[in-house]
Structure 1
Amino acid sequence: MYFTTINILLGISFFTIAVLSTLLFLRSRTQSSVFLSLSACGAGLWIASTIIFLNASQPVLFTIGTKGLHVAGIMILTAFVCFSYTFSGGNIKLNKKFLFSLLIISVLFIYIIVFTENIVQTTRDYAGVSNSSISFGNLYPCYSLYILLSAFLSYYFLIKKSLKTKSKLEKVQLLYIGIGTIVSLSIGLVINIIWPFFGIFNHYWLGPFLSIFFVVFATYAIFKHHLFNIKVISVELFSALMSVFVLVDALLSKTKIEFILKFGLFMGVVGISILIIRSILNEIKTKEQLSKLSEELRGVNEELKKLDQAKSEFLSIASHQLRTPLTAMKGYSSMLLEEDYGVLSPKIKEVVDKIYQSSGGLATMIEDFLNVSRIEMGKMKYEFSNFDFKKVIDETITDFATNNKKAKTLDLQFATEGTDFNITADKNKITQVVSNLIDNSIKYTPKGFIKALLTRKPNTNIVLLKIEDSGIGISKETLPGLFQKFTRAKGVSRLHTGGTGLGLYVARKIVEDHGGIIWAESKGEGKGSAFFVELPIYPAGRD
């Protein structure tokens, strides 16, 4: 064998196809990948037979090479037909007649090629290395027709699949397979089937060499979009080729020392290749595990969203059902306190007042739950109008000072800096925010003062409300999450047990929906706190 350019190219193709066909066969999990591996093995036989044919130094080698070339053609096309059929959705196991017919025809052709001279004649054409040609028997046209029909049938299955499929993944796979087969099969059919009729054998090696395109592209299509990873295939292929070349170089050494050094290099290449492949396999395994966990988390997250939605709907329904009796309780207790039904004794009046206060607190709590469910379902509605913000604050503080027993024990103050405090907003929702902030200050201020200050920020269209108290204060740890759902400051339960931790969350959402901001400040526990609300006079898009 001579180390010519053609032999080197054929050798590279052979080792590449040998590695890919072996990997395909070992990792095959579908019918299509099994048949592709068999077709790739046929391509490997085609190349090996071509090398023997071109370099035959004896008639027997010439015979082996010639017959091997034509047996390989049968293997490649028969397996490729089965591959195309199964890849396009057919099931060989269910269509046994189709498989049986192909096998009978293939075995018959192989028998004729190997044991007779009816397709290829090898007894009179040997003329030494690179000078031999092939003469054909009387059945060669039948052989050629089978090869051509098999190629057309394969393309029929693949084209039919490409026209039917809507999957982008399958379209990409078919594109790769199409590119690989058009390059290799079309040129192979011309150079190795048609030209030999006219006695042209000059480029007989080109068809087998180009079969590498068919195997590489088809293998890529299968591996890239299924359970295999092309990175591993590429590294394994490169490592195998590198190892083979280094080993061949070592075997061609002229001295023992040169052989030992080059063989040591070969062992090093093999060892490093194994380590790299293991590393990549571990990486892929980790990615697959992460991908699986990600899918599981995505599923759990979807379930949680559904549960959260169900919870919000339940809260909305339950809250609506509770509002009616609570409104009646509050209304009747108010009428009793105002003595619409007659004069009450001080003891009874005290009990009725507790009912009134409790029903009012419970009504506020239910309103918070309703607002949370509206916010989460995106159903919070606002009715914007122009009103005097100063008047809203003044009326709210007056209402607390008049009707809240605890407020009567505190020093409630309200001051303004400026004159024009008209804003465009949802009056009821803004009143709810102010009421919530003042109510919180009253609940968590055992004694002392609550001061509300309303100002107009200089040279802006923004009003600022500050509500400061001398209460229990807020720790630095609590401040960042104070306006989140179900968050209550540390130690507040000893002063007020009925809170839900929703009031400030709802207030934040309302203020933000108005284009404003809300925040709290405190120097620490026991040092009071201050809440700030900034609102634009005209919310964005409404001026």
Structure 2
Amino acid sequence: IGSFTSDWALSQYGLFGMPVFIAFLAYTVVRFKMFNVKMVGAAALVFSLWGLVFSLLFLETNFTAQLIVVMTLVLVSFFGVMLIRSVRQEVKRREEIAQLAKTLEYANIRLQELDKQKTEFLSIASHQLRTPLSILKGYIELIKDGGYGKVTKGTVEVLNNMDESNEHLIKMVDDFLNISRLEQGRTKYVFADFDITHLIDGIVFELKKKAEDKNLVLEWLQKEPFHLVGDEEKIRHVIFNFVDNAAKYTNEGTIKVAIEKSDNGLKVTVRDHGFGFDKIDEANFFQKFYRGENVKGTNVTGTGLGLFVCKKFIEAHGGKVWAHSPGLGQGSEFGLWLPLIPTKPAETKI
């Protein structure tokens, strides 16, 4: 300003003002512990505007004009302080968000590591349990068959109860093993052409006695062979699980197993007159460790892993699973659809 007005005395303010301005910038850098562009820019803008308005006091000789300049200077100071504070708060919030993101990232890495350790432990523990349970099953069968001497009727009943409990434990351990293999990507699929009708024949034959013991009718009328390409063992596991659950959660009536062609694939359904379920269960049945609200308060036990494993096995074939029910106490339908030839390659890691 002094240069434009040819006022030598006024130009000296610039000479001394520049070091003050530089000192102010240095202060903002030290004060906020980093060279934050927004913070420094806001402070520099306010300081420059304040200095410009303040310099007008030396240019104006009229008292009214000087009064207006003083009022403007007060307003600039007030709003300048407010601007700096708001920018400072924004910078602080951004720093807090960045720190929170780092903390969450660390926590996520830690959770992934813990999940990996859990899966490894589950795999090791399940393997260690599977062997003695299989041996126990063998000895129970030997005792029942008279391999260690004559067995009374009462002892046979006890052995049957032991065998049933042992089978329950074996199934639970198998679920844990399947989960650990799925999570580690070690599930092996062997694809080949097979007759799914024949496969269901075997399942129905195996579970027929269990249904009859509860006075249930297990209905399977299909005789026409249906062929598809897939892992026969995995598909058998899924259909067996559906029929076994239907027998477990049904107290009276009929369980109907059916198969039909649908959308260049095969659809298998298992319908029962059992407990039924609501929309919340329907949306969550295939989640890991989920136990339906419809079985709480009953003596039916489970891990909540079976249907999750079934879903993963069918999805590995490019298929889908579902569960439908009109409501509690009105029965249910569990089904699966499989393409005749898998459209999605499955994991084959060992």
Pairing 1:249–2:56 present = yes
Q: 2:127 aligns with which of 296, 307, 320?
A: 320
Q: CA 1:394–1:253 in 2, change beyond 3 Å: closer, same or farther?
A: farther
Q: CA 1:9–1:285 in 2, change beyond 3 Å: closer, same or farther?
A: farther
Quick check: 2:319–2:338 contact (8 Å CA) kept in 1? yes
1:174-323 correspondence to structure 2 within 5 Å: 227-323=34-130
Q: 1:22 aligns with which of 8, 21, 24?
A: 24
Quick check: 1:400–1:407 contact (8 Å CA) kept in 2? no
Q: Alignment length, in residue pairs?
A: 342
Pairing 1:490–2:293 present = yes
Quick check: 1:475–1:489 contact (8 Å CA) kept in 2? no
Percent of residue pairs bearing the same amino acid type? 34
Quick one: higher RCO (CA 8 Å, sep 6+), 1 or 2? 2
SS of 1:411's equivalent? strand
| 1:513 paired residue number | 316
Q: Distance in 2 between matches of 1:262 and 1:415?
A: 99
Quick check: 1:443–1:495 contact (8 Å CA) kept in 2? no
Q: TM-score, normalised by structure 1?
A: 0.58
Q: Distance in 2 between matches of 1:355 and 1:421?
A: 38
SS of 1:247's equivalent? helix
1:451-462 correspondence to structure 2 within 5 Å: 451-457=256-262, 460-462=263-265
- The structure whose Rg is larger is 1
SS of 1:535's equivalent? strand
Q: Distance in 2 between matches of 1:493 and 1:406?
A: 25
1:110-509 correspondence to structure 2 within 5 Å: 227-337=34-144, 344-402=151-209, 404=210, 409-416=215-222, 419=224, 421-457=226-262, 460-509=263-312
Q: Aligned-pair RMSD on alpha carbons?
A: 2.9
Q: Distance in 1 between matches of 2:142 and 2:196?
A: 30
SS of 1:442's equivalent? helix
State the Cα deviation string for residues 343-370 of structure 1 (Å, max 9, x = none).
6433222212112222111111101001
State the Cα deviation string for residues 388-419 of structure 1 (Å, max 9, x = none).
112212211210113x2665521111244x95
Q: Which amino acid aligns with 1:350?
A: E
Q: Which amino acid aligns with 2:231?
A: D
Q: CA 1:541–1:466 in 2, change beyond 3 Å: closer, same or farther?
A: closer
| 2:348 paired residue number | none
Q: Which amino acid aligns with 1:436?
A: N
Q: Distance in 2 between matches of 1:391 and 1:447?
A: 27
Quick check: 1:466–1:533 contact (8 Å CA) kept in 2? yes
SS of 1:478's equivalent? helix
SS of 1:477's equivalent? helix
Q: Distance in 2 between matches of 1:347 and 1:405?
A: 23
SS of 2:275's equivalent? coil
Q: Which amino acid aligns with 1:477?
A: I
Quick check: 2:211–2:247 contact (8 Å CA) kept in 1? no
Q: Distance in 2 between matches of 1:324 and 1:274?
A: 75
Per the TM alignment, residue 452 of structure 1 is displaced from its structure 2 partner at its CA by 1.4
Q: Distance in 2 between matches of 1:325 and 1:489?
A: 31
Moved more, 275-284 or 489-498: 489-498
State the Cα deviation string for residues 206-239 of structure 1 (Å, max 9, x = none).
xxxxxxxxxxxxxxxxx9xx73421111111111
Q: Which amino acid aligns with 1:421?
A: F
State the Cα deviation string for residues 226-269 of structure 1 (Å, max 9, x = none).
73421111111111111211222344234222222232222222
| 1:2 paired residue number | 3
Q: Distance in 2 between matches of 1:305 and 1:17?
A: 54
Quick check: 2:257–2:269 contact (8 Å CA) kept in 1? yes
Q: Distance in 2 between matches of 1:13 and 1:537?
A: 87
Quick check: 1:410–1:449 contact (8 Å CA) kept in 2? yes
Structure 2's unaligned 5+ residue stretches are 346-350
| 1:119 paired residue number | none
Q: Distance in 2 between matches of 1:292 and 1:541?
A: 41
Quick check: 1:384–1:424 contact (8 Å CA) kept in 2? yes
Q: TM-score, normalised by structure 2?
A: 0.87
Q: Distance in 2 between matches of 1:257 and 1:362?
A: 96
Per the TM alignment, residue 24 of structure 1 is displaced from its structure 2 partner at its CA by 2.2
| 1:532 paired residue number | 335
